[in-house]
Amino acid sequence: MRALSPRARGGIAALLLVACAAVALSAHATRVYRWKGASGTVRYGDQPPAGNTRPASVEVIPMHTEPGAIARLRIANAADGYQAWAENTLAGPVEVRLSFSRARQARGEPELPARATVPAYDRALVARIFGMDGARGGDFELRLDAVPGQPGARHRDVEYVFPLRTHDLRVEQGYGGAFSHQDEQNRYAVDFAAPLGTDVLAARDGVVMQVENDFDSAGLNQEKYAGRANFVRIVHDDGTMALYAHLLERGVMVRMGQRVRAGQLIGRSGNTGFTSGPHLHFAVQANHGMRLVALPFRMFGPHGILRFGETRQAGHL
């Protein structure tokens, strides 16, 4: 997915929003709170009133939202052209690729497409843009693609903890499932059946890199629901990442940047996004150079080592 800048003729100062190649994207502030203050005045905010003055009744107004960006592109004026900076909004590294969607009498230095890896909550200068005469000018549009994770991460041979607090193990869709596990980023994903509200546990130590917590609906309309699942993404010490998706609305129990241990409660299972029913979608992924790729993994379940053979049955998304 992508967003393009306005056409640039001699200069732009635009903010470009960039989508990532993940199963789901992060978003923010999707509720508005309304209450009456002490004087009877109606007040609004994106957080409920705090402290002892909080009224007994606070109305929650749900707001529909679009998935947010994991990286943003800012264009800054420079003496001899423009600087293209990528800003990382996540609590873990992302790789970005900057390219021209349109370029007339414009060039990049380094030559575009150009890549950069941006650390957590940081920014990086990806390229400088010049007119063909070496000064500002030209007519161009830019595209920034972003993928979570450090490129080239190598998966350690570790045993993952079963990510649900239950002894009832049922796999709805395993490796290579024909229903939705055919693409690179989901090939080795596993869908575990889980009633709404089941405790979701960290399967491995790591840092919470990305969360989505505010979506409240689900369905099989891909255009409407793709990218709208609640989830937690945890980055491990070897650079790989675990994705826990389709969580309950407001069911995330951890915050971005928080370090968690294997077996720790991180959320509640749900039925949000592009899905046919309640379950937990679990995958281990790595960035293979602007490609989010699922990796096979070993896991110890309620009754011993789990075997995830390739499946072809219809199951949950």
Q: Check which CATH number belongs to the domain holding 228 and give it.
A: 2.70.70.10
Query: What single-letter amino acid sits at 29?
Result: A
Q: Are residues 201 and 290 in the same domain?
A: yes
pLDDT value of residue 254? 97
The whole-angstrom separation of Cα 225 and Cα 222 is 5
Q: Are residues 80 and 58 in the same domain?
A: no
Instruction: Look over the chain and give the mean of its residue pLDDT values, rounded to a whole number.
Output: 78
pLDDT value of residue 162? 96
Q: Are residues 38 and 167 in the same domain?
A: no
The whole-angstrom separation of Cα 226 and Cα 157 is 32
Burial of 188 (0-12, 13-18, 19+ CB in 10 A): buried
Nearest to 82, CA basis, from 174, 184, 5: 5
The range of the structural domain enclosing residue 222 comes to 159-305
306 confidence band (pLDDT: 50, 70, 90): confident
Does residue 176 carry a pLDDT above 60?
no
Q: What is the pTM of this model?
A: 0.77
Q: Are residues 267 and 171 in the same domain?
A: yes
Higher pLDDT, 294 or 46: 294
Whether omega before 278 lies within 30 degrees of 0, making that bond cis, reads no
Q: Are residues 179 and 296 in the same domain?
A: yes
132 is a domain residue: yes
- % of the chain at pLDDT higher than 70: 70
295 is a domain residue: yes
Q: Into how many domains does the chain fold?
A: 3
Q: Are residues 117 and 232 in the same domain?
A: no
DSSP 223: H
Q: Please name the residue ranges forming H helices in 158-267.
A: 222-225
Residues 6+ apart with CB under 8 A from 201: 161, 162, 163, 164, 165, 262, 263, 264, 265, 266
116 confidence band (pLDDT: 50, 70, 90): very high
pLDDT value of residue 305? 84
pLDDT value of residue 241? 98
44 confidence band (pLDDT: 50, 70, 90): low
Phi, psi of 127 (to 5 degrees): -165, 165
Sheet holding 42-45, edge to edge: 42-45, 31-36, 59-62
Element of type H or E holding 108? strand 106-109
Q: Are residues 169 and 243 in the same domain?
A: yes
